[in-house]
Structure 1
Amino acid sequence: MMKKRIQQIAMLCSASFLLLSGCGAKETSKSDGNKEKTYQIGVTQFVEHPSLDAALEGFKQALKDKGLSVSYDVQNAQGDMNNNQTIANNFASDQVDLIFANSTPSAQAALNATKDIPIVFTSVTDPVGAQLVQSMEKPGGNVTGTTDTHPDAIPKTVQFIDKYVKGNRVGMIYNSGEQNSVAQVETVKKAMKGTDLKIVPVSVSTSAEVKQAAESLVGKADCIYIITDNTVVSALESVIQVASDHDIPLFVGELDSVKRGGFAAYGFDYYDIGYEAGEMAAQILKDGKKPSDLPVQYPKKLKLLINKKAAKDMNIELNPEWDSIAEYIE
């Protein structure tokens, strides 16, 4: 009996030792910080088109490169303002760690929904005019991000049109309900001062109206200039078709639209401004920075891109002078 009792005690001690060892290992794991926090980020995007999609990819890559574990809830408003606000309200109710707003309408809706959750935007043309930030240098509040307006992009495009396009009538199709588009049209007008260029404006409210708007410019415009208007860019192929059918040079506001069939643009890669926005988000989530501490960032690179196939389709003769200032795609 005594021997059996000793064996039972030994087995009980052994089990207790293993249990304590296991508990000790678990506590060490916690104290070592091996359990990584997964951040919840709500992504709100106004419409789907290549530039905004590229910005989102850049944003995600930056956070990955910074070593953050992130769970994304990606929502697209499909160009509907009501959907846009509903998405933002849902993110606010869910108390996500950060909202990534990809476009001006998306950022405005997010700010309407919350003053507490950090908001990082990109693809916003005029952050101050859209009342997202107090100033570019000192945003204030809970919002900051990257703008898709390089200070030289519109002036250089206008200079190119003035120098190389025959005629002075510049057709512009835009959604007057998008604050970023109205701001860009005003910038175009300012850039045209001192030239004989004039705008032939056509306003649309949905992407379904874009083709008819483009057709209305035939015979009234010597070229067409599509700025970074979300509504129009989402239906850009219809404008490209009209421009090609009627030999109208089509200038666009970003490089992805050149790749889709626009003739030329002074622009930058939206992936890059999305990446910069992701770096800012990492500073907020990982380093404890406040959006108000982070100045709004401009695109860092600007280049002229010309589509040779589009030039042929629109009956545009390539000028040797462009070889020293432009990059070409076939």
Structure 2
Amino acid sequence: MQTREGALAFAPWRRMVGGLVRRGEEARGAASALSTLVPRAAYFPDFLTPPVEGGPPELREGIDRVLATPKSRLRHELALLSASGGRPWAGAELARGDTAALAVLGANLRTYHREFIKPVWRHIDAATATDRALRTRALVDGGTRALLNTLRPMAVWEPPVLTVDYPVDYDLHLQGRGLLLVPSYFCWRRPITLADSELRPVLIYPVDKTPPSSGASPASSAASLASLARLLGPTRAALLYEAAVLACPTTSELAHATGVSLPSVSQQLAVLREGGLVASRRDGKRVLHTATPLGHQLLGRS
């Protein structure tokens, strides 16, 4: 919201947000308050991105984790924000863990999500799910080295060092803790990490933001492959199923799994992509395919 970068990816979203901010007092207040906590600067507080264990948390759980930040950490990180030139909203109240200020912060986070994120969640979900599937395929095929090589050119793996295109000079020593890779829709060009090296090491990196096709949303009540075949036809139903259960299969692997010729598979996959049920990405000489979240819903796998 605070930059013009990534016009092709974010311009439609910025226009939507701009309209909501102009028309709605609640949306405008949430955006104004939160922008003071995440300014366009080299630092913003780590407590706003709480740790994730066992998969992405629900929104309510994530906000609860933010609001449960220890007072000592609130005080320390908000002081760092102020020292870097930021002017955090309700800074003094938040720093001492004031209950009323924390309640307003939670309300602002919920409003921001409802007004600005939820309308485009389908696009975000599809982009991040496709990214996870592609990188999982790389991990299955070639192990950790192949997975980390998929991060080129923004990150280069030269054992034992992962060199990342990062806005500041910063060394992070894992010390056996591992590195959590977090795909992000709104991250732009460069990966980011937490400022506090004592926290769990994470690398938040941008995903491909190619806009998905805007085909009609099919009904999600088909819970069996038989009913799905009646809706899509047997070939497309079989391809969608295999794209969902295999680890990012190639066109050839889908042809082998379904017993359908390569030219026919390519044609049917194009129809599934137009309907927003399958996403495809080129990987060298091959093309990898995965079912989108909408495709998984149609299969009854969500």
TM surpasses 0.5? no
Q: Which has the larger radius of gyration?
A: 1
Identify the TM-score tier after normalising by the shorter chain: under 0.3
Q: Which has the higher contact order (CA 8 A, sep 6+)?
A: 1
- Choose between structure 1 and 2: higher helix proportion: 2
- Choose between structure 1 and 2: higher strand proportion: 1
